[in-house]
């Protein structure tokens, strides 16, 4: 097991993280940024935190049998993240890649704390996850993400709406209340974790420009793929 607290960055790669509510536009921006970096010749590894089969199958089963509690829910997601981290994130970082993550441990902090888990306990769980070089927090009012969600006609899932918390009987109301809690948690984390706050109401192009500009210092002196594969 890696002990990341020992060394701030025990690998040559760089870690760029995108965080924010569903519908904040972070995934679109993360993909565009990845494209641009690859086009510039950097070795890029893109990864998103969608629930793996492990989590989705287990949660389905737990829900059916009424087994899940905030603790098991939190531990299941931590297990899933650890698997993704040990398999997909750490190896490319050690190989010197730019790793672009659509959602990182902060997603879990926000979600678990919104469900009432102790912040100290949750942070300890994720101690193995190193601090990113950049964390872009896509900040947006809940009303906006709700409109986008409704416009896309995507179904709001039970857990996405935090229905397990009993905030409201109606899934739309519960979604808004739960997402507002998540937003509060993100806002609270922003300072302590050095998030770069992106006003997600801007146009796609403007935001992408802003990200590319902001990333310049991180890329300073960072080798492109050619230099990683061939000496001299």
Partner 1 sequence: MPDEVLSGKLIVIEGSDGSGRTTEVERLKETLEIEGHAIVDTGLRRSTLVSERIDLAKQGHTLASTTMALLYATDYADQLENKIIPSLAAGSTVLADRYIYTLMARAVVRGASRQWAQQLYGFALRPDLTIFLDARPEILLHRAISKYGSLDYWESGMDLSISPDRFESFLEYQARLRREFAWMMQAYAFVPVDANRHPDQVHQDVLKLVLPLYAPAKRRRGAGPPPSAQTGPSTASA
Q: Which spans of this chain sit near partner 1 (rule: CB under 8 A)?
A: 1-3, 5, 54, 58, 61-62, 65, 67-72, 74-76, 78-79, 82-83, 85-87, 112, 115-118, 120-122, 124-125, 127-128, 164-165
Q: Which of 157, 163, 136 is nearest to 55 (CA)?
A: 157
User: Which lies closer to partner 1 via its Cβ, residue 64 or residue 230?
Assistant: 64
113 versus 149: smaller Cβ distance to partner 1: 113
Q: How far is the CB of 1 from partner 1 (least distance, A)?
A: 4
Nearest to 111 by CA among 60, 170, 161, 53: 161
CB of 104 to partner 1, least distance (A): 15
Identify the helix (H) or strand (E) that includes residue 106.
helix 105-114
Q: What are phi and psi of 4, to 5 degrees?
A: -70, -20
Residues 136 and 79: their CA atoms lie apart, in Å, by: 24
Query: What minimum distance in Å lies between the beta carbon of 58 and partner 1?
Result: 6
Q: For residues 185 and 191, what is the distance between their CA atoms, to the nearest angstrom? A: 11
Q: What is the DSSP annotation of 2-62? A: --TTT-S--SSSEEEEEEE-TTSSHHHHHHHHHHHHHHTT--EEEEE----HHHHHHHHHH
Nearer to partner 1, 139 or 181 (CB): 181
Under 8 Å between Cβ of 52 and 80? yes
State the nearest-atom distance from the C-beta of 15 to partner 1, in Å: 17
Closest to partner 1 by CB, 83 vs 199, is: 83
Choice between 31 and 123, CB closer to partner 1: 123
Q: Give yes or no for a contact between 71 and 117, defined as CB atoms under 8 angstroms apart.
A: yes
Instruction: Report d(CA 30, CA 175) in Å as an integer.
Output: 24
Q: What minimum distance in Å lies between the beta carbon of 224 and partner 1?
A: 29
CB of 59: closest distance to partner 1 in angstroms? 9
Nearer to partner 1, 120 or 191 (CB): 120
């Amino acid at each position: 097991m890696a002990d990341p607290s020992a060394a701030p960055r025990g690998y040559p790669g760089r870690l760029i993280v995108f965080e924010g509510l569903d519908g904040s536009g972070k995934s679109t921006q993360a993909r565009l940024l990845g494209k641009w970096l690859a086009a510039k010749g950097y070795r890029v590894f893109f990864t998103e935190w969608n629930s793996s089969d492990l989590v989705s199958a287990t949660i389905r089963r737990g829900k059916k049998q009424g087994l899940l509690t905030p603790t098991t829910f939190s531990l299941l997601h931590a297990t899933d993240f650890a698997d993704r981290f040990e398999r997909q994130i750490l190896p490319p970082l050690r190989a010197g890649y730019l790793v672009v993550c659509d959602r990182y441990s902060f997603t879990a902090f926000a979600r678990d704390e919104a469900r009432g888990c102790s912040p100290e306990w949750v942070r300890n769980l994720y101690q193995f996850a190193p601090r990113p070089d950049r964390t872009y927090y896509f900040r947006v009012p809940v009303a906006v993400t709700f409109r986008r969600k409704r416009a896309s006609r995507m179904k709001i899932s039970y857990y996405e709406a935090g229905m397990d918390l009993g905030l409201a009987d109606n899934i739309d109301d519960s979604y808004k209340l739960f997402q507002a809690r998540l937003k509060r948690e993100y806002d609270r984390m922003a300072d302590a974790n050095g998030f770069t706050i992106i006003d997600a109401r801007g146009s796609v192009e403007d935001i992408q420009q802003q990200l590319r500009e902001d990333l310049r210092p991180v890329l300073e002196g960072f080798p492109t793929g050619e230099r990683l594969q061939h000496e001299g």
